[in-house]
Amino acid sequence: MFYGFDMGGSKIALGVYDAQRRQVWSKRVATPRDDYAQLLAAFRDLTAEADAFTGGRGSVGVGVPGLIDPEDGTLFTANVPAARRQALGRDLSRLLGREVRVDNDANCFALSEAWDDEFQAYPVVLGLILGTGVGGGLVVEGKPVSGRNFVTGEMGHMRLPIDALTVLGQDIPLPQCGCGKYGCIERFLSGQGFAWLFRHFYQQTLSAEAIAARYYQGDRQAQAHTARFRALLAVCLGNLLTLIDPHLVVLGGGLSNFDALYDGLAEEVKPHLLPVARPPRFARARHGDAGGMRGAAFLHLR
């Protein structure tokens, strides 16, 4: 059995999966955000419940909203202060008496999708999250590629490519990102960026959901904005697809529910690829909110 934990700022969710990758049990509890001993105890108690349910000792994987320091295994996370600068994987391995694998939640999202029954056919899978921010993960032959600093696939902190200025205009403001730099893709391709760009061009403050609703109602501004955003997404993907050359790109996050953003995206990226390159398949994520648990559980799959 495979146990997958999705640790967030408000809840810890555990999913138990069998050898066919089917979820057979799940439970969630509130995250002890400010006490590390209580946080470890929550993992211990949930694992004990899972062991009792399965009658065995499943493998354990944990998806975390942050980065793992490759030097000492400690975690940097803003959402769970108790776990900050703690060696969560090492401490849980000792506490639970089994190897615990920890990876960031974007990698777990990508891994969950790469192990989908249909998507297993694709050797290189790039997962992109277009939500509150822009994140991503890369999976090659069923294994996440974390890189030197666990940031492989984190497209959100790449800078806007020069062709983006053709789409947005040379005078587009470059707002400061949460990372401290200017011109990060996250500020434009996230849900907040989608709404910010609409306000910039049309001087109206609307949520991404409201803009999408107007699109389907035939609103010309919303439709023009969506076409511009899709062109921007294609431009920003150009360098990434040339570098990684994935077979499949899976889109998750709130904006992925807006089909018009990626309908026809494969054709739209073609001008930004090498002439001999064919675009990958683009697909919406299949596993939604369960992706974090699934991907964490599958950190042990090969």
Q: Give pLDDT, residue 262.
A: 85
Does residue 145 share a domain with residue 203? Answer: yes
Q: Is 252 domain-assigned?
A: yes
Same-domain pairing of 84 and 149: no
> What total number of domains does the chain contain?
2
Closest alpha carbon to 102 in 94, 117, 92: 92
Task: Examine the domain organization and report whether 106 and 162 are in the same domain.
Answer: no
Half-sphere exposure of 182 (CA within 13 A, CB side): 4
Q: Flag whether 116 is in a domain.
A: no
Contact 233, 214 (CB under 8 A): no
Pairing mode, strands 59-64 and 100-104: parallel
pLDDT for res 70? 87
Is residue 153 located within the same domain as residue 275?
A: yes
Could you tell me if residue 202 is inside a domain? yes
198 vs 60, 173, 255, CA distance in Å? Answer: 43, 13, 14
- Same structural domain, 41 and 138: no
pLDDT for 66 equals 87
The Cβ of residue 252 has, within 10 Å, a number of other Cβ atoms equal to 26
What is the reported pLDDT for 178? Answer: 85
3-state secondary structure of 5: strand
* Domain-located, residue 217: yes
Q: Tell me, yes or no, whether 251 and 142 share the same domain.
A: yes
In terms of domains, do 73 and 210 share one? Answer: no
Tell me which residues of the chain have a pLDDT lower than 70: none
What number of other Cβ atoms are within 10 A of residue 45's Cβ?
Answer: 12
Name residues whose C-beta falls within 8 Å of residue 170's C-beta, 6 or more positions apart in sequence: none
In this structure, the answer to whether residues 104 and 133 fall within a common structural domain is: no
- Cα separation, 95 vs 100, in Å, equals 10
Q: How far apart are CA 99 and CA 61, in angstroms?
A: 9
Whether residue 84 is found in the same domain as residue 13: yes
Do 145 and 66 share a structural domain?
Answer: no
**Residue 111 in tokens:** 């891994």
Q: What pLDDT digit, counting tens, does each position of 214-243 carry?
A: 999 999 999 999 999 999 999 999 999 999
Task: Clarify whether residues 93 and 203 are in a common domain.
Answer: no
Inside any domain, residue 135: yes
Q: Report the alpha-carbon distance of residue 100 to residue 269 in Å, rounded.
A: 39
Which CATH number goes with the domain that contains 83? 3.30.420.40
pLDDT at 78: 82
Asked, for residue 35, whether it belongs to a domain, the answer is yes
Q: With DSSP H G I counted as helix, E B as strand and the rest as coil, what are the percentages for the chain, rounded to 5?
A: 45, 20, 35
The pLDDT value given to residue 239: 92
Partners of 129 in beta bridges: 135, 252
Closest-CA residue to 82 (of 61, 65, 94, 69): 65
Instruction: Give the structural domain span for 262.
Output: 121-285
- 85 with 184, same domain: the answer is no
Q: Give domain status of residue 115, yes or no.
A: no
End-to-end CA distance of the chain: 14
Q: Is residue 265 part of a domain?
A: yes
DSSP H/E element including 134: strand 134-140
